[in-house]
Amino acid sequence: MVKLRIEVEADECMEAIGISSSYSDYRLAWTFNNVFNWQFFFSEVPLVIPAKKSTESRSYYYYQYLDEMEKMHLFLVKNKQGGKALFEDYPQFDFVLFFKNNLSFDVNQWLILLRELDAVFAAYRCSSNDFSIASLLHFESNHE
């Protein structure tokens, strides 16, 4: 197994979709895998974010998928983990789906498809720059 570190450069922006859903993270990832033929898997290396006003860090686990043909990475992050919201700016999001290196997917089309799922109450287009922690979004990608 080869580990790749995928970092968002200061001037780079990932497209994203904020999702409201009552599903658990693994159930939503499983639903996406079945409906869209994606292959999300649980990342054992968490996203580590320094806590505000503290020297401690918080860990946020996520699911990831690499589309081999498109060379695009998808990251599905549950907003509230361990009682703390990762995206405090948007507490209404239960999840955020990030598109890294998206050169061919129309995010507006994905919004329509996501909104049609029973698992999704609402979906909103956004970008990594919409979040105050944008500079800290450093996902580890495990690629075999």
Residue 109: how many other CB atoms lie within 10 Å: 9
Its pTM stands at 0.85
5-63 pLDDT, tens digit each: 444 444 467 899 999 999 999 999 999 999 999 999 999 989 888 877 777 888 899 99
Domain span holding position 108: 2-143
Domain count, the chain: 1
DSSP assignment of 77-128 equals EESEETTEES-TT-TT-SEEEEEES-SS--HHHHHHHHHTSTT-SEEEEEEG
pLDDT surpasses 70 at 125: yes
